[in-house]
Chain A
Amino acid sequence: MNKQGLIKIKPYLLVLPALALAFLFCYRPFFLTVINSLSNVSLGGKRTAFVGFDNYGRLFSNASFQDSLSNTLRFTLFFVPTNIAVCLGAALLCNRKGKLASLNQVFMFLPMAVAMSSSMMMFKMMFNPSIGIMNHLLNSDIQWFSDPKAAMFLLVMAGVWLDIGFDFLLLSSALRNVPKELLEVSNLEGANPWQTFTALQLPLIGPTLLFILVNNVKDAMLISAPVLILTEGGPFRSTQTLVYQMYLEGFKSGNYALGSTIATVVFALTFIIMLLLLSLERKRVYYQ
């Protein structure tokens, strides 16, 4: 090849690795998943027949899927408000100066340093109903892993603990960016802390809160690994979520078609949420 041709082709060669990876591990599997959701798939992963929307019909009448869908929505509904309230409360309480305050702050974001699987193993052992420390501390006899309500509550708490570090840091930094002069003025005018919060701080940290809200909804809809380690979907499928069922269908039962159908539903749900996130972010840029 002559030199001119090489110069022309060079940029394409340089971006080839990234493009190849995008094709191989994102676009190709995405399209195959959607196609599989419209087909019969053998145990070996081969498509045997095109069946239209049959899998979707089967999926939505599948009792296990109905449980997964309602559990995922329930988890999202419990988790998101709890997490935001806890993280915002923590950030407000720690929004002070001094040695004690900065120690409080460090404690609040330390959970971020513990990997997900280690955290869930800690929770699993601490909440063991017979020899775990939590039942002793609470002076209770809660069957954390065999009572559906307790198991869901535990999963929500575990989710908050996994998220608190990062969301706390985001909210703390948003609160720090509220201009001091405004706070002093509101103090001089005799506003109580609640009034200062609702009239001054809340609107100013609004964009950060929105960002956290949408991200939390997305994470909650996709939750799977903590379920896998902590509750394994139990008891009686009461904590089985969408992605966890997809994992079960695809890897435990070898039911690729149904697994792919759930994956497609998950794509659609997250796509809607991501669009929401992007439009919110665009608004945020506009603000500044």
Chain B
Amino acid sequence: MKKITPLLATLFSLIVVFPIVYSFSASFFSYTDFTSIPPRFFSSQPTFSNYTRAFLESNLAGFLSNSLITATMGTLIRLSISILTAYTFTFFTFKGRDVLFVLIIATMLLPGDALLIENFITIRHLGLIDTYLGIISTSLLAPTHIFMIRQYFKMVSSEYREAAIIEGCSDSRFLITLLLPISQGVVITLALQSFTGIFNDYLWPLLVTNKESMRTVQVGITMLGFSENLDYGPQFAAITLLMTPVLIAFILLNKNIKESVSTRFTGR
């Protein structure tokens, strides 16, 4: 049993990782490599032409820049709103505070997918189809972020803020010079999560973009026009290009990722 376990684990993990390895390898295939019999795992003569074709014969570069712009914009606005909201709910006492807080957090109970039709109509009325603002609009409110940042802010007693205000410190200065530095960890984690979340979003960007020039890369990658013609090389190249930076980050940060999952979801 002791000897079989590593063997089984290795076999299992190789099966799991196979699609990634194959995509990487296939991105260097020539057209005939895909149809050769018996099938190939490695190219007969590796070629970079799939990568150049993916860029030259499709709008991949444009899709990529749309995604980078919307993910950056979305992350900045989303975090600003989350921090501001969490701050207000932690350090201010005002009438109806708890009700309003519950109202914001309870939006978690409404699955975004079921709201697609009405949200689409709203965005169309506002004339935001084919705009960056339209693409990020439904990701700007993040109840889980507000909740988590508030948990961090709660560690600071509200007497600190009162004392600071009496000494003539403004709210914004208190927030920037004291609160944000101590909650740096959670803010960075949430920023990364927001960025990848918005970057990887698929269904909503698909619905609110009609013009090809406004498509994000996750939508665009399914419509490059190669795989429909069984021209798989450039399609695999585009996928490889998109996943490689994230894969490298995951491998380098693998210890941190394991830790963050265990602390975030078991509450220890």
Contact = CB atoms under 8 A, between A and B. Distances in A.
Interface of A: 8, 10-12, 14-15, 17-19, 21-22, 24-30, 32-33, 36, 45, 89-90, 93-94, 96, 100-126, 128, 131, 133, 136-137, 161, 164, 166, 169-170, 172-174, 176-177, 193, 208, 211, 222, 224-225, 228-229, 243, 246-247, 250-251, 256, 259-260, 263-264, 266-267, 270-271, 274, 285, 288
Contacts of A121: 221-222, 227, 235, 239
A173 B138 contact: no
B16 A90 contact: yes
Secondary structure dominating the interface of A:
helix
A12 to B, nearest CB: 7
6 contacts: A11-B92, A18-B141, A29-B115, A45-B121, A173-B258, A208-B265
Contacts of B219: 117
Contact of B85 (A18, A120, A193): A18
B227 A94 contact: no
B116 A250 contact: yes
A173 B114 contact: no
Contacts of B92: 10-11, 14
A117 B117 contact: no
B261 to A, nearest CB: 4
Contact of A169 (B12, B118, B258): B258
B114 A263 contact: yes
B107 interface: yes
Interface stretch (B54-62, B151-159, B184-192, B248-256): B248-256
A33 B266 CA distance: 36
B242 interface: yes
B177 interface: no
Interface string B100-144: 100110011111011111111110000000000000011011000
Contacts of B118: 28-30, 32-33, 36, 260
B203 A113 contact: no
Contacts of A32: 118
